[in-house]
Chains A and B, each alone.
Chain A
Amino acid sequence: MVDRAGMRPLGEQRSAMTDLWAGLSQAFWLLVTLDADLVEITLRSLRVTLTALAIACAIALPLAAFLAVRRFRARRATIAVLNALMGLPPVVVGLIVYVFLSRAGPFGVFGLLFTPTAMIIAQVIIVVPLVASIAHQSLRELWSDYHDLLISMNATQLQRIKALLWDGRRALLTAALAGFGRAIGEVGAIMVVGGNIDHATRVLTTAIALETGKGEFAMALGLGFVLIALAIAVNLCIHWLGRTESEGRW
């Protein structure tokens, strides 16, 4: 028996719906009972992602402002490269970081492979171009507004960058949230450099991949719903802290 579109057997559809409900119920119970493993990997996910995001923002936002205010020979090329790097394949980033951090690699001596630090490094590399590109778009528009005024006031290059970062902070929040979304959902690179080791480098996304591989769809979906809830909660928190939707603010 098939559905009206003739695409999939109805029994299979029912089974998928059952998995979804089971996933929802699993997610609910994992949350209600504050499952120890769930709490551990959720906190690790948050720690890795937020640390990577903070480092990425510290690099990307000043870089974006610098590219907005400063004219130099390789500026266009730099912007083009940044935009291109937004689509950097995470697995390739993971592989490159792996090579650099492996025992035979140039940074092997630090013993960082298969640690949360390695996962943070990979995420920073993935997130920086994304945050920088989005931030640059916003700051470029702001700079076109401020250009004559700040030059007229004899603001130094550093003062111009500071003014753009401060006055464009709410637009930059969007860039940071995009970076957070990319980092929290990242699985390829951190699987390669983290190794998905239980109680060490396992995070929500790698746990979902593992459960799916084991055929534990309900558990995988449960973790997936927790991941989505976490992403939404962090976004709401940042919006609330930034008061982006308050009247008369930006």
Chain B
Amino acid sequence: MQMFPLVAKGAQVRRRGKVLVGPVDLTLGGQGTSIVIGPNGAGKTTLLKMLHGIVRMNGGSLDWACPLEEAQKRQAFVFQTPVMMRRTVIDNIAYPLRLAGMGRKDARERAADWASRVGLGEILQRQATMLSGGERQKLALARALVREPEVLFLDEPCAALDGRATREIEEILAHASDSGTRLIMSTHNMGQARRLADEVIFVLGGRIHEFSPAEEFFAGPGTSQGRAFLNGDIVE
């Protein structure tokens, strides 16, 4: 069953009376990579978490083309600061498979395969909390991709990484996208946004100010705030 389109109508997240995100009206199709950009505190993370369903909405609606329970099983999330479970690398990657009911042996075999794909094949038995920043992010990616989700949300996955680690992560993402995984990702890095984006969602003050094809946005944003942001000006 098709997951997309994902349709948000007046979706809103409020905490202690303050609107963090919304109201959001958005329709996402099932192809390509959407990049969410905006200044610090714009609401990018909350928007992603709201779309993924791990932040409770206080208004509006969010509808997948398939039942919500089904949609939840077919998506994954990579956090800006990867959460390392207190287990070995292989057990971290195998964990989502075990949750889904796969046997230990099969889960570990598939986890080892994914670890190799992201370059962690040599350190399967290392404790996850002992990994470097780049390795942690690769592990988080492998753990998210191991169940072959149809949608992958990523919250600034390269925020604290050096150039080499960023390139490796982007290669993994490009491969996932080529394999048909829909990527919805936030980033501060405009170069990365230009490299990866098929469409851009520009967020400011919790609202979506622009939602347009990447070429169009980078050629000339339709809003003054978008232009200012792209020029590197301070945007509030």
Residues of A at the B interface (CB closer than 8 Å) are 142, 145-146, 148-149, 151-155, 159, 163, 167-168, 248-250
Residues of B at the A interface (CB closer than 8 Å) are 49, 52, 54, 72-73, 76-77, 79, 83, 85-87, 95-96, 99, 126-127, 129-130
Q: How far is the CB of A157 from chain B (nearest CB, A)?
A: 13
* Contact A248:B126 (CB < 8 A) given known A149-B79, A154-B73, A163-B85: yes
Checking B72, B76, B85, B99 against A146 with a beta-carbon cut-off of 8 angstroms, the contacting residue is B85
A154-B83 in contact (CB<8A) = no
| Distance in angstroms between the alpha carbons of A155 and B52 in the assembled complex | 15
| Distance in angstroms between the alpha carbons of A248 and B126 in the assembled complex | 8
| Distance in angstroms between the alpha carbons of A159 and B130 in the assembled complex | 25
Checking B49, B79, B85 against A167 with a beta-carbon cut-off of 8 angstroms, the contacting residue is B85
B52-A152 in contact (CB<8A) = yes
A248-B99 in contact (CB<8A) = no
Q: Which chain A residues lie closer than 8 Å to B126 at the CB level?
A: 248
| Distance in angstroms between the alpha carbons of A145 and B85 in the assembled complex | 9
| Distance in angstroms between the alpha carbons of A63 and B232 in the assembled complex | 52
Q: Which residue of A lies closest to B76 (CB)?
A: A152
| Distance in angstroms between the alpha carbons of A154 and B79 in the assembled complex | 15
Q: Which chain A residues lie closer than 8 Å to B127 at the CB level?
A: 248-249
| Selected A-B contacts with CB under 8 Å, 12 pairs | A142-B86, A146-B85, A148-B77, A149-B83, A149-B85, A152-B76, A152-B77, A154-B99, A167-B85, A167-B86, A168-B86, A248-B130
B85-A153 in contact (CB<8A) = no
Q: Which chain B residues lie closer than 8 Å to A153 at the CB level?
A: 76, 95-96, 99
Q: How far is the CB of A165 from chain B (nearest CB, A)?
A: 12
Q: How far is the CB of B52 from chain A (nearest CB, A)?
A: 7
Q: Which chain B residues lie closer than 8 Å to A250 at the CB level?
A: 86, 129
Q: How far is the CB of B189 from chain A (nearest CB, A)?
A: 23
Q: Which residue of B lies closest to A171 (CB)?
A: B86
Q: Which residue of A lies closest to B130 (CB)?
A: A248
Extra contacts besides A149-B79, A155-B99, A248-B130 (6): CB < 8 Å: A146-B83, A148-B77, A148-B79, A148-B83, A153-B99, A154-B72
